[in-house]
Chains A and B, each alone.
Chain A
Amino acid sequence: MNEVILLKDGELALKGLNRSTFESVMLKNLRHSLRKTGGEYDIRRAQSTTVVEPLTDDCDMDAAAEAAGRLLGIVAYTRAAKCEKDMDVILPTAREYLTDQLTDAKTFKVEAKRSDKKFPLKSPDIQREVGGYLLSRFPHLTVDVHDPDVKVTVEIRDQYAFIHGNQLPGAGGIPAGTGGHGCILISGGIDSPVAAYLMAKRGVRLTAVHFASPPYTSVLAEKKVHDLLEAVSRYSGRITLYTVRFTQLQEKIRDEAPRELFTVTMRRLMMRIAGQIARDNGCGCLITGESLGQVASQTMEAIACTDDAAPLPVLRPCIGLDKSEIIEYARRIETFETSIQPYEDCCTVFTPKHPKTRPTVAEARDAEAKILDDDMLRAAVETAKKLVIA
């Protein structure tokens, strides 16, 4: 018996003429993430399903299934047994392959799918025969066709039959890299990795910019950002991170800008620097983890002041999410525990106790104009440390 992984397309199936582009990107992403788990695989497509079959002994099917679970564009996936299209083989294979699942279950049902219409038994016949056989081998089970603990699926395909239990939900979304290229401003908090993930889920390829202000911020804060992006990259694929030395500019803002406008001025400069890096990398947008009303810099007025300095559209996928909803996402993509490590990031350095919550664009421009220094901005872009995270 051979084990394979079956991946079911999500929205991909709905695409029109550019469907093949989406498919080929998805397959490329799949090959890339499988390569990281070691081993060689055969990858085939048939009827909105991708079949991943191990070819070599060093294939780690647990790791491969985990990678499949993170592949964007996939709505569901499952591990399955592959066998000959012969009921004398299908029956014992189903029993053997599903023993663990069926032993733990109380109820089950069998569903047959027959894409090979030449197969001698019709779907209801297959269901009846497999169901009866499994009932006789696992007498503790009862059949429940509406809400079974285990749904046994037998797929009769052109070459082989596949047998599997319950499918797992896939990562959803559309294949990474089919939705353009964006630049995430990542601080190390809870929100920005989630924003990065949400955009990746809609197919966006990512470049990241992090602002570090040593000695006010710690090297550990930078390491934290690496760890966060590594987690996000399991969905998005490779991310190029630029770490900008922000200390001098931040000190300048502290010393020369009005205190209550510190944050908005800082964010305008961040937008300019990240915007330049984004453009240099061919990005079409900036992405932030802002959520409306969460902090003073995330009021509608403050956002208007920030966007006024952004050279590219700024997308904010978390804008309508509550903190608790963002945390839910962060837990799901396994960034939460890293995010809550207590290292100061540049956003909390020098922040005034009472920042202005409703700054006007005019006063933000005035405050920034006093310190805007093209040479310093250029230097910040040019000296940014580049690191590829894959």
Chain B
Amino acid sequence: MIYLDNSATTQPLPEAAQAAARAMTDVWGNPSALHDGGLDALELLDESRKAVAKALGCTPAELYFTSGGTAADNTAIFGAALARRRAGNRVVTTSAEHPAVARACDRLEALGCEVVRLPARADGGFELSALEEALSDKTILVSCMAVNNELGTITDIPAVSRVVRRCAKNALFHVDAVQAFGKLPFRADKCGADLVAVSAHKIHGIKGAGALYVKKGVRVEPFLVGGGQERGLVSGTEPMPAIAAFAEAAKRIGDPAQHLAHARALRSALTDALADCPHVAFNSPADGLPYIVNLSLTGVPSQPAVNALCEMGVYVSAGSACKRGHRSEVLTAVHLPPERIDSAIRVSFSRFNTVEEAYAAAEAIRKTIERIRR
């Protein structure tokens, strides 16, 4: 099997899986309990927080565990809007966000916020001038993604942050960094954002945990209320197996800059091998994150392409796995023609893929086109 759907989920590291197992068979107490079983779990929670905070580039006090990337995004967006509701009413986001952000902003709109969605450029990014125009003192939240999950487009977060600070003094700045974590070199506390959301299972942890960075001094109101876990921000008993696995994955995240060079080699192998194929059109921008290659196989609908590649042992996705069966919102937002959207597949690498695998995938894509295209 050649697994090239790493933007959907990654294979858990053995150490991560073992840590999760240990949190179920050995240290399985409730971290809020006062007996030794609880204290052991609390210690595991604290250690895990340190490990993830280190990988994300912040202090443990700035890191809040959630049940995943969507939960982190929702906690940030609703929490910021609630905390700043007296300062204004406007929320600024983009038209190419992940549903975890897009639907949360829709909800804010239904609740009475004025939501501005910056138009996406063809490459999936947006113009800073458009952002500047949309901002005012009444803007309470700006939310955008660091790396687009379908196209790999990179947003210059520090540049966005500078515009936000200059033009919207009451706004909190939230970044969905789910696809960037471990792949782009950045520190949460130096990138200029107030809130940064990440997910464990995209960095070889397991499903069920994510984290939200909340910059020191920034206050957001809890969106999930209850027992007051995670210092009141994220109520609910901590998903310890997933958190323990998250920590082990974070410890092994390595040097993103170094991995990036490898990812570029993977992308080049794939794109070079398909360069002379007239029926392949690349949708990802050339300066995008090399881990994500979105391409259209003209005349080959996505679903059969995914099935045919699967028969050859190559796993890729049709657009974004979060929206199965629907035309991709992101690709629609960047005004790709419908036939390009309907024939789009996403190849997404991890640092563990090899150049040989990239070549093999290219070969399988060629065969798929030959077979299905008419």
Q: Using a CB–CB distance below 8 Å, which chain A residues touch chain B?
A: 214-219, 254-255, 341-344, 349-350
Contact = CB atoms under 8 A, between A and B. Distances in A.
A214 B325 contact: no
Listed residue (A218, A343, A349) with the most chain B CB atoms within 10 angstroms of its CB: A218
Given A254-B374, A344-B303, A215 B325 contact: no
A216 B325 contact: no
Contacts of B304: 215-217, 344, 349
Given A215-B304, A344-B301, A350-B374, 9 more contacts: A215-B307, A215-B308, A215-B311, A216-B304, A217-B307, A219-B307, A342-B325, A344-B304, A349-B304
Contact of B372 (A216, A342, A344): A216
B121 interface: no
Nearest to B310: A215
B310 A342 contact: no
Q: 5 shortest A-B CB distances, which residue pairs?
A: A215-B307, A342-B325, A215-B308, A216-B304, A215-B304
B212 to A, nearest CB: 33
Contact of A214 (B305, B307, B374): B307
A247 to B, nearest CB: 10
Contacts of A216: 303-304, 307, 372
B326 A215 contact: no
A11 B214 CA distance: 70
Contacts of A341: 325
A218 B324 CA distance: 12
A305 B88 CA distance: 67
Nearest to B305: A215
Interface of B: 301, 303-308, 310-311, 324-326, 372, 374
Contacts of A254: 374
Listed residue (A215, A342, A343, A344) with the most chain B CB atoms within 10 angstroms of its CB: A215
Chain A: interface secondary structure?
loop
A2 B134 CA distance: 71
Contacts of A344: 301, 303-304
11 contacts: A215-B304, A215-B311, A217-B304, A217-B307, A218-B303, A219-B307, A342-B324, A342-B325, A342-B326, A343-B325, A349-B304
Nearest to B312: A215
A253 to B, nearest CB: 12
Listed residue (B301, B307, B308) with the most chain A CB atoms within 10 angstroms of its CB: B307
A260 to B, nearest CB: 15
Listed residue (A254, A255, A344) with the most chain B CB atoms within 10 angstroms of its CB: A344
Nearest to A342: B325
A254 B301 CA distance: 16
A218 B374 contact: no
Nearest to B318: A218
A214 B305 CA distance: 10
B372 A215 contact: yes
A341 B324 CA distance: 10
Nearest to B374: A254
B326 A218 contact: no
A344 B342 CA distance: 13
A343 B301 CA distance: 12
A349 B374 CA distance: 12
B47 to A, nearest CB: 41
A350 to B, nearest CB: 8
Contacts of B326: 342
Contacts of B324: 342
